[in-house]
Amino acid sequence: MRTIGVLTSGGDAPGMNAAIRAVTRTGISMGLRVVGIRRGYNGLIAGDLLEMNLRSVSDIIHRGGTMLFTARSPEFKTEEGMQKAIRVCRETGIDGIAVIGGDGSYRGASDLSARGIPCIGLPGTIDNDIACTEYTIGFDTALNTVMQMIDRLRDTTESHDRCSVVEVMGRDAGYIALHSGIAVGATTVIVPEVPFDIEKDIISRMQTAQGSGKKHFIIVICENICNVSDLSQDIEKRTGIETRATILGHVQRGGSPTVRDRVIASQMGFHAVELLAKGIGNRVVAMKDDHIVDYDIFEALRMKKPFDRQLFEIAHTISI
Ligand code: ADP
Ligand code: F6P
């Protein structure tokens, strides 16, 4: 292994820059040449490369987004696109790649590994929805952003004795909703992992809380479950409490990474290069019991992430 590439793929996440920095500096410190690949697998196909030195990654550890840009690349999923990417690796001397992204990006990394370019995946997504790891780079920053936004919403919700329904990201996973819901004291948290009933889980909980004097309510709901404007109108109709819907959207993906994201991204970046330097590929870096570990990509993709039902119960026990 003489030259390693590094790329970010799929949705960006705060902390990706810290991971790029760690990969670059660890690689250089081991005597490797490091090449940045812009815009994910699209950049690999197009040969959009950036020669990295120690200073290329100065002043990025505190920045959200990704200095290498990111993309979703339908072309890379085709055999022709994959062959183009391999040709670029051969022509430019890239022997292995650190791929920072989610499950989809790992599948691409696995395909490349199978064709002779060892790749190591690093979990980068705000959703924390990658089964093999307890933690994904970006989750903590996104949670803190959501918490700050909902704290602000609470001021106006409380002033008007209203209910706020807040839609957060997560794609098909409720980790952002659950953790932020606990942090902001939401009356109800709605996640895809647990079916919900509007009467039982929202209306009657609000009415019970009203009975002990509560006058304003926050409902946190994961995206892709229902139309939050319709849900808000329904709540207002059934309870008589003025209700507003807020969709936090992509603001959740931005911002300066928290300590946790910077430290874990740095550890994972270091670990990925240790593997690549030994010529090891087709593995993903993960967190288990607060330690950095690695798994075979196929094994990782087969894993199922359990939903923390106990945390879900706690959220609802203490928020009424
Ligand atoms: P994420 O990595 O966040 O899960 P995507 O699912 O969009 O994001 O995947 C990112 C990119 O990884 C895709 O645009 C594609 O280029 C590549 N990819 C996804 N699935 C596969 C696959 N089955 N085979 C090869 N490449 C894939
Ligand atoms: O995976 C991260 C994420 O932000 C999800 O929470 C969300 O569903 C999706 O990406 C949004 O993707 P896009 O940026 O393509 O709209």
pLDDT at 210: 95
> Residues with Cβ < 8 Å from 181, sequence gap 6 or more?
188, 189, 220, 315, 319
Amino acid 60: pLDDT: 98
Distance CA 129, CA 239 (A): 34
Render 214-256 in DSSP notation, one character per residue: ---EEEEEETTSS-HHHHHHHHHHHH---EEEEE-GGGGG-SP
- Please give the pLDDT value at position 4: 98
Q: How far is 130 from 37, CA to CA, in rounded Å?
A: 23
pLDDT in tens, the chain (320 residues): 999 999 999 999 999 999 999 999 999 999 999 999 999 999 999 999 999 999 999 999 999 999 999 999 999 999 999 999 999 999 999 999 999 999 999 999 999 999 999 999 999 999 999 999 999 999 999 999 999 999 999 999 999 999 999 999 999 999 999 999 999 999 999 999 999 999 999 999 999 999 999 999 999 999 999 999 999 999 999 999 999 999 999 999 999 999 999 999 999 999 999 999 999 999 999 999 999 999 999 999 999 999 999 999 999 999 98
Give the catalytic positions in this structure.
Answer: 127
Q: What is the third-level CATH fold of 3-138+257-302? A: Rossmann fold (3.40.50)
CATH number, domain 142-253, options 3.90.550.10, 3.30.110.40, 3.40.50.460, 3.40.50.1370: 3.40.50.460
Q: Which residues line ligand 2 (CB under 6 A)?
A: 11, 125-127, 169-171, 223, 253
Is any atom of ligand 1 closer than 6 Å to the C-beta of 42? no
CB 288 within 8 A of CB 45: no
CB 53 within 8 A of CB 5: no
Task: Decide: pTM greater than 0.95.
Answer: yes
Do 142-253 and 3-138+257-302 have the same topology in CATH? yes
Assess whether the C-beta atom of 108 lies below 6 angstroms from ligand 1: yes
Q: Whose Cα sits closest to atom 2 in ligand 2?
A: 11
Å from CA of 108 to ligand 1 middle: 6
- Residue 126 C-alpha to ligand 2 middle, in angstroms? 9
Residue 86: other Cβ atoms inside 10 A: 18
Q: What is the pLDDT of residue 320?
A: 84
Question: What are the residue boundaries of the structural domains of the chain, listed by start?
Answer: 3-138+257-302, 142-253
